Chain A
Amino acid sequence: MTATQSRPLVGAALNRVDGPLKVSGQAHYPSDFDVPGQAHAALVQSTIAAGRITRIDTSAAEDAPGVLTVITHLNAPRLDRGPMTGLGASPPPPLQDDRILHHGQHIAIVVAETAEQATDAARLVTAEYQADEAVLDLDDPRAQILDNPWGLDTQRGDVAVAMASAEVVVEGTFTTPDNTNNPLGLFCTLAHWDGDRLTLHDSTQWPSMVRATMAQVFKVPEDSVRVHVPFIGGGFGNGLRAWPHVILTVLAARTLARPVKLVLTRPQMFTSVGHRPEGVQHIKVGATATGELVALEHRSLSAVAMEDDDYEPLAAGSAVAYACPNVLTRDRQARLNIPNPTSMRGPAEAQGNFALESIIDELAYAVGVDPLEIRLRNYAEINPEAELPWSSKALRECFEVGAERFGWSQRSPEPRSRRDGDWLIGYGVAGVSYPWYQAPCQARATISADGNGYVRSAAADLGTGTYTVMTQVSAESLGLPLDRVRFDLGDSDMPIAPQAGGSGLTSALGNAVQDACRQLLDSFLTLVHEDEMSPLRGCTRADVAVEDGRIHRLDAPLEGETYADILARHNLTELTADGASDPGKAADLGMALAGAFGAKFVEVRVDADLGLVRVTRIVSVIDGGRILNEKTAGSQIVGGTVGGIGQALFEDTVTDAGTGRIANATFGDYLIPVNGDVPDLDVVFVGAPDRGTPLGTKGVGEVGLVGVAAAIANAIYHATGRRIRSLPITLDTLL
């Protein structure tokens, strides 16, 4: 029984509650903050990828106008590495020795009175190196290989025997390049020490993690560090770690005893805050003559930095995507002299799905079965690894609804069979089974004397709509209209929240918010439990509902009173309660916790002579469980789809052989889609609330991107008869 009156607050396609702030310039992003007396920093970066600094000359920079300090490995204090986080190790702290591990490594921070002076002086720092031969290629025999770095390798059945008995075997090697997250907002850190108290404005997706990291690195109590990020100009994963430039800014502020602000440049965004690492995958499937999978083997190798961690199990997801009795997945990493990679929207899945959904497409053509039909023939009705039913799964409905909306039945079976003038036309499909990364979360809810609600948690809103949907959940849970509830986030002094990433925040935070609101209602009922004046005396949550801020008895709706009445009678200015969520365990639930599912249908046109590829239609059908807001969730899928077009056709971070320098670290040279590359996108949600969590939500932050690349590659095959197994698919590969 729900304690509050059900009303259409959750699920409604509401406009963003923060929209007016954003369009009127009143939403303050990290770089918008300034504090009195602040100085400005600029970074100096290495111009070799491996070796040692033999000499670093800062004298000219120190003598430049306005310069306050220059910190290098020679004068930086020794710093501890940050703590392990829910997503792995912290990056190693900067400026700890003379070693260079990648091109673009920070080797000095210059602080001056103005940003221009700092930038100018940074160019005056000169370094001499003893360069070693950098390890830059995945196939370099010198590269250290990490086997099964996350312990996620899977094996079920006997793949070798099954593969040998398969009537049809298809295999291929797929490569995906480095991609760079490239949020529009340049990452900014503004650090301000007051004694041992640190106030930080930082472009982060995870304020609680930055707080814990700074406390450990600078040896101060966690509660003396406060991290603010009310708004962030995107992240796509860049903001999931406390990067070396953050530590350097905090260090500079402590050294100078002045606030220090640093804004990364666009080229620095390519080397300082992570990227999707390149990978190579070999995938092999065996099937019956009618396309039933009997064996699946998926092996991957991806790049990681010399002394850092990254989570990219490209192959692991293939173990649960299809009902196949014999499966082997193996993931490995190669240590290279590259900037630290990190999660980029749909980490691992974006690459792994490209290989898996391409090979399934190849199998479909090999056995002469429709690519859509072969996916349904191998549908995983239960989670095949856990051997438990899914907490929710409407992937079949995704395929069926998508096929209808797209007009899949109009597809001509043969490749290169439709043409319009110079243009070859093709259809492609891909399925997605997306995991989510579950973490505990806390929230706090308050009703003040005026009866209005205030709910908060130390989460970040990437721009995805967290403010909005949590306002909706809060309002519904408290029984208040939207305009009487404020949801706030982006402050590490609020109750601890997990990262805005991994498609997990909405569920973790939504359940915590709902719990806090319910606890708060309990607190009100406790307050009046013995209250002779209250019509609610003796009631528990099961006995009441709340509507418009008035709690009433379910058995006697006229018997009730408002939050404000209760507070006033008890001489209270407010009442507050905390709530929490913790993801359930599959074994306890008897269900495999499901993430989102999706089906992507794509039409492309390919110029037969010039190789030009134009994506002309995309239909995305998503099972995201309970959708809190059709508008913001739809925008997530639209944005993810645009990212998928970028991954498929454009995005390629190019590293120079030998030097390890990134050759295209600007928006002029690193291509992302422009409006003209993006057709009208059709997005539909299907499915039911997930049974595994109280709210029934599943994350939709990444499922929009994943699968687009495979569906485009499959459509290009259908249009041209050319199977392209390497991203991005550029016109020269189609000439």
Chain B
Amino acid sequence: MRAFEYVRAADVDAAVATVTDDPFASYLAGGTTQVDLMKDGVLAPERLVDITRLPLHGIEHGPDTIHVGALTTMEELAADPTVVARLPIVREALLLGASTQLRNMATIGGNLLQRTRCRYFRDPSVPACNKRSPGSGCAAVTGAARMHAILGVSDRCIALHASDVAVALVALNAVVRIQGDQGRRSVPLTEFYLESAEDPVAENMLAHGELITGIEIPLLPEGARSGYLKVRDRVSYEFALVSAGVALVIEDGVIQDARIGLGGVGSKPWRARSAEEVLIGAPPAVETYRAAAAAALAGAWTVPGTAFKVELAQRTLVRTLQNVTEVSS
């Protein structure tokens, strides 16, 4: 790890100003990604601005939304009674992520900004990484790609966004609150992330110095069914090979609303709108689910190591839909 300056931010404005004015400064929250990448020599900020004592912590409950401060930990959000009662998809996604120790350190804002686990990105001795060294190529495309993405990717970069909870949040139309030196703005999470197919470097639309201050999560309507299924090689403490987060509203035997997020497959937390279109207006049935799953994966771009994910992701989405609707095969 290179030497760096550590400063503790006095307030949000000062934190934003400090980082905005210094192109070599970064924020430090839970540190579960930032510190790892600094140790590995991938990131070498000259200054870390510690925001952990800023008043961006806690959950406010509105009638139709909850507002989650960016510094709320994953474990705290998972334990929130409203999340338990109304947003099982969020709770399940959180609790299937990382480990208890990490969830007690990692903040929800940091989770959204976590960097890819791609070992070619995370090892500076690998020369070819378009995300780390633009124009250098992509070693993962011809490498060990089992944990890589198949949607929103190209031969320039197949890095995966590995967050679980972000998959649930894109499905729920969550909104990110952002503060920069020019003021505040709110951006739907579905528009917040950028695909890597064109530009592997820019992962989201934050400008340097902009800080996520919180997330608004719309509550699901009463009676909605939701769930999250994560498929991975071992039982816990492992990133998804594929995952699916679904929320459905079914009335009179017809799917009135459907939200589908897919994990383990996208360069960003993947919202499968094409699958939603297949489901909405149809009755809950396995054939419908299979058609929706096929639509969701229609645009997959694979390499030998990721080819299996096309089928696995479809089966996982079908299973998740079956689970939340209690429709058997």
Contact = CB atoms under 8 A, between A and B. Distances in A.
Interface of A: 45, 47, 116, 119-120, 123, 267, 422, 609-612, 614, 649-650, 654, 656-659, 661, 663-666, 668-669, 671, 673-677, 730-732, 735
A654 B143 CA distance: 9
B139 interface: yes
Interface string B190-222: 000000000000000000000000000000000
Contacts of B1: 116, 119-120
Contact of B231 (A45, A119, A610): A610
B24 interface: no
A656 B139 contact: yes
Contacts of B144: 654, 656, 663-664
A724 to B, nearest CB: 14
Given A650-B233, A732-B312, A120 B2 contact: yes
Nearest to B328: A421
B234 A677 contact: yes
A673 B236 CA distance: 9
Contacts of B329: 609
Given A47-B125, A609-B315, A610-B315, A650 B234 contact: yes
Contacts of A120: 1-3
The 6 tightest CB contacts between A and B, nearest first, are: A676-B235, A663-B144, A732-B308, A654-B144, A676-B236, A47-B125
Contacts of A659: 139
A422 B231 CA distance: 14
B225 to A, nearest CB: 19
Contacts of B318: 609
A272 to B, nearest CB: 15
Nearest to A116: B1
Contacts of B182: none
Contacts of B238: 671, 674
B233 A649 contact: yes
B147 interface: yes
User: At the interface, is chain B mostly helix, strand, loop or mixed?
Assistant: loop
Given A123-B41, A663-B143, A735 B311 contact: yes
A610 B316 contact: yes
B319 interface: yes
22 contacts: A120-B2, A422-B319, A609-B315, A609-B319, A610-B312, A649-B233, A654-B144, A656-B143, A656-B144, A663-B120, A663-B144, A669-B147, A674-B234, A674-B236, A675-B236, A676-B235, A677-B234, A677-B235, A731-B233, A731-B312, A735-B308, A735-B315
Contacts of A669: 117, 119, 147
Interface string B39-58: 00100000000000000000
A665 B238 CA distance: 15
Contacts of A119: 1
B230 to A, nearest CB: 11
A406 B121 CA distance: 47
Q: Is the interface of A mostly helix, strand, loop or mixed?
A: loop
Given A120-B2, A735-B311, 11 more contacts: A47-B125, A116-B1, A610-B316, A610-B319, A656-B139, A661-B123, A663-B120, A664-B144, A669-B117, A676-B236, A735-B308
A669 B119 CA distance: 8
B126 interface: yes
A419 to B, nearest CB: 12
Interface string B103-137: 00000000000000101100101100000000000
B241 interface: yes
A129 B22 CA distance: 37
A263 to B, nearest CB: 14
A730 B233 contact: yes
B237 interface: yes
A75 to B, nearest CB: 23
Interface of B: 1-3, 41, 117, 119-120, 123, 125-126, 139, 142-144, 147, 231, 233-238, 241, 308, 311-312, 315-316, 318-319, 329
Nearest to B144: A663
A735 B312 contact: yes
B106 to A, nearest CB: 14
A112 B125 CA distance: 22
Contact of B234 (A611, A663, A671, A732): A671
A267 B123 CA distance: 10
Contacts of A267: 123
A120 B2 CA distance: 6
Given A614-B235, A654-B144, A674-B235, A668 B117 contact: yes
Contacts of A116: 1
Nearest to B318: A609
A666 to B, nearest CB: 7
Contacts of A656: 139, 143-144
A661 B312 contact: no
B165 to A, nearest CB: 18
A49 to B, nearest CB: 12
Nearest to A46: B125
Nearest to B126: A661
A609 B318 CA distance: 10
A61 to B, nearest CB: 13
Given A610-B312, A610-B315, A666-B119, A731 B142 contact: no
Contact of A676 (B3, B126, B234, B311): B234
Nearest to B309: A732
Contacts of B235: 614, 674, 676-677
B241 to A, nearest CB: 7
Nearest to A646: B234
B324 to A, nearest CB: 15
A634 B157 CA distance: 48
A675 to B, nearest CB: 8
A119 B1 CA distance: 7
A212 B272 CA distance: 64
A614 B41 CA distance: 37
A661 B308 contact: no
Contacts of A661: 123, 125-126
A677 B117 CA distance: 22
Contacts of B311: 735
A612 B234 contact: no
Nearest to A45: B125
A612 B242 CA distance: 12
Interface centre among B144, B231, B238 (most CB of A within 10 A): B144
B149 to A, nearest CB: 16
Given A657-B142, A663-B143, A668-B117, A674 B237 contact: yes
Contacts of A675: 236
A677 B144 CA distance: 24
B222 to A, nearest CB: 29
A612 B231 CA distance: 8
Nearest to B323: A422
Contacts of B234: 649-650, 671, 673-674, 676-677
A656 B138 CA distance: 13
A731 B241 contact: yes
Contacts of A677: 234-235
A656 B234 CA distance: 23
A120 B44 CA distance: 11
A47 B139 CA distance: 14
A732 to B, nearest CB: 4
Contacts of A668: 117
Contacts of B139: 656, 659
A191 B236 CA distance: 40
Contacts of A650: 233-234
A735 B125 CA distance: 35
A663 B145 CA distance: 10
A432 B2 CA distance: 51
A96 to B, nearest CB: 23
A729 to B, nearest CB: 10
Contacts of B316: 610
A199 B128 CA distance: 43
A661, A673, A730: residue with the most chain B Cβ atoms closer than 10 Å: A661
Contacts of A654: 144
A735 B309 CA distance: 10
